[in-house]
Structure 1
Amino acid sequence: MQKILFLLSAILLFSCETEFEINADWKELMVVHGILDQSKGEQFVRINKAFLGEQDALIMASISDSSNFNPSDLLVRLIKMRKMTSSSINYELLDSIDLVDTIMPKNYGEFYTDDNIIYKTSDTNFLRADKEYLLKIINTSSSNIVTSRTKLIDNINVTTSFPSFYRLGFYNGGEFTSTSINWSHASNAQIYQLQMLVRYRNDSAGAIANIQEFEWILPILPFNGNQEISQVIGGQQFFSKLELEINKNINNGENPDYERKVIGVDIQISAATQDLYTYMQINEPISGISQQRPTFTNIDNGIGIFTSRYNHYIDNLQLSEATHQGLSVELSDLNFIP
């Protein structure tokens, strides 16, 4: 979802008379990425080195020691806190846990090909929405200390009712319709995004049915002050996305003669802080003439991001009969059956 490995490349400057040595004495710079999500059990923090060296940058990137700290040198602690009073700047430390290192496989690339070292919580019930959390990382070999803190995002309260007979409607009476998913604003959230996982079945006479699925990520909704948030999902957009994804699969070898039917839709509503939104915006691909990128970090004595998000899941929603009928009409060339 984000690039969490940094490479600071060496640059050599030459002149006809003087050689410049720009690589100063090594200074530790810790790169931290952690996003707390109380909708999940385990929490993960990624910790790396930013580095500058004499060797070729790609050679250094392929060496684990160039990017990873020795886990035995790091104390990674998550501290639960609360304000002494609502207007106070002082905090009471309530509890703490130490994160443990673990291995997470990574895809092959130009960076080191060893597994990634990730730090995770051992207590899956440590997070509480009404508390703040301080991340404290101590390098015991260098005495370097890096900190950051964040508030959590409260539970997303979906106000749209989903009884067992509920059906997603995108078509009715020969016309496209829309569906709205509504929820209440969650404390400390500044952006929202809805994502759909759509599953459809391929059927063919004499063959075993197979299930395909695709993700549809809708645009980000910045919080505008309204306490009720609404995501409108247009029927024509839903049909167009379905057609696009199935044609992709056909171009990749899926039998175009299959009979098809949508068999379920999962919805994920995500909320995130302003810090995470700012970080995402700054790290978007640069498309303009200027290739300079502004920097953003909320890590004290390091770089990176430590913040929070929350995910709410609504599983296995079904389409209305009218929508199935509409698919068989509007996407008849893809053999949808009502």
Structure 2
Amino acid sequence: MRLHTFALRCLTILGFGAFALSGCSTDLDPNADYKETMVIYSLLNPGEKIHYVKVNKAFLNTKSNAVTIAASNLDSTTFRPEDLTVRLERLGKDSTVLNTYTLERYVSKGKDAGSFFSDSTILYRTLPNQPGQLDENSIYRVVAHSTRSGLSASAATSLVKSNELCIFRVSMKNTIGRDCFDTLDTYVEYEPHKTNNAIAFNTPSNGYIYSTRIDFPYTETTNGVSQQKTITWYPLNNELKSPSSLGENEIRIRIENNSFYNTLANQINTQNDNGTTKRTTDGKVIITVTAGSQLLALNYRANTSYSIYSQTRPEFSNVRNGAGLVSSRAQKVVYATLTTDALKQLKNDTRLKFQ
């Protein structure tokens, strides 16, 4: 693990949910000739069946600026398919390799518009059931190798214990008992119109940074044209909390009365509404809790704890012979449903036009 100081941050590499990860060229001589530097980003989630890795090049070339190079030459930031192999390794306690899984190249569509060459994102992913869900008690290492230059870079991480992350309350309706609601087939009642609402969950023994997201999908129809939309907000975002040996393994987030309806009113764009506009919902509310590892917490601290008077920012990396971050997170999801009274209040709110 290293803390670098970078003169500037020129290339956004990858973002996963609440945790945004960014990277740039390493602390090399800016007047040196072009040198290939491998940048690796991955967030391993033990509960997922397919795992993704992002591998890019960082480059330095004083004869042209970074945006011009990247826009005119895709190979300056990405590896050609025949030039790169990526694998995931499961390690034993003595760092011996127990299993090796070769990753396939995958092009993810829908990249945001910008200055860079491609309208898609090149990732590497594991094959189905190879390995599938990860062993939470193992160490995993990502290894990337350039067959063209011979350069190899790697990074290893332990996994956040997903089985210890438990959402046991999402509103006033569920205040008795501490059964986990975070299974995909579990629906609980959601009452945002009542006072003393809270979201509460047990934290993993190796979780260090937390976010809670609420998604509310709905249908908006104007002039007979319907669109599926979602309002998203974070009651808790990038909260740092070290594991406690005193049994304090709970986070409780107080939700202000009617903040659900006020958030919808603030985020729903009504500028194009007319007399035909209506909004409908099946009442589904999705609550997602994310727990990040110590490496993620260190990365977050490094990117937020620097002086505004400084022209440099420390950059955290755990990649050997390269730059970037390979870490872990765990996520649990609860599918809640607005109660009859909650839906009634939603439809009675004239700001929102729900029917």
* Alignment match of 1:33 (pick from 21, 37, 41): 41
In 2 relative to 1, CA 30–326 (structure 1 residues): closer, same or farther, beyond 3 Å? same
Greater shift in the superposed pair: 93-102 or 279-288: 279-288
Give the SS at the match of 1:159. Answer: strand
Q: Report the Cα distance in structure 2 between the residues aligned to 1:25 and 1:212, rounded to whole angstroms.
A: 48
| Local SS of the residue matching 1:243 | helix
2:143 is aligned, of 129, 136, 142, to 136
Q: Which runs of 5+ in 2 are unaligned?
A: 1-14, 170-178
Q: Hey, what does 1:266 align to over in structure 2?
A: 286
Could you tell me the TM-score, scaled by structure 1's length?
A: 0.79
Structure 2 residue aligned with 1:94: 98
Which residue does the alignment assign to 1:15? none
User: Is the 8 Å Cα contact of residues 186 and 334 (structure 2) preserved in structure 1?
Assistant: no
Contact 1:203 1:259 in 2 (8 A): yes
Q: What is residue 216 of structure 1 aligned with on the other side?
A: 233
Residues 1:32 and 1:211: Cα distance change in structure 2 (over 3 Å): closer
Task: Tell me the residue number matched to 1:197.
Answer: 215
1:8·1:52 contact (CA, 8 Å) conserved in 2?
no
State yes or no: 1:179 paired with 2:197: yes
Conserved 8 A contact 1:257-1:334: no
| Residues 102-181 of structure 1 aligned to structure 2 (within 5 Å) | 102-105=106-109, 106-113=111-118, 115-122=120-127, 123-125=130-132, 127-155=134-162, 156-160=165-169, 161=179, 162=181, 166-172=188-194, 177-181=195-199
- The alpha carbon displacement at 1:193 in A equals 1.1
Higher RCO, 1 or 2 (CA under 8 Å, sep at least 6)? 2
**What is the aligned partner in structure 1 of residue 3 from structure 2?**
none
Deviation at 1:117, TM superposition (A): 2.6
Q: SS where residue 35 of structure 1 aligns? A: strand
Retained in 2: the 8 A contact 1:184–1:228?
yes
What is the root-mean-square deviation of aligned Cα atoms in Å? 3.2
Q: Write the distance in 2 (CA, Å) between the matches of 1:276 and 1:227.
A: 19
Instruction: Count the aligned residue pairs.
Output: 311
Deviation (angstroms), 1:124: 5.0
Q: 1:153–1:189: 8 Å Cα contact kept in structure 2?
A: yes
Query: For residues 295-316 of structure 1, what are the alpha-carbon distances to aligned partners after superposition, in whole Å with 9 as ceiling and x for unaligned?
Result: 211111111100011121112x
Q: Secondary structure at the match of 1:291?
A: coil
TM-score by structure 2 length? 0.75
2:314 is the counterpart of 1:294:
yes
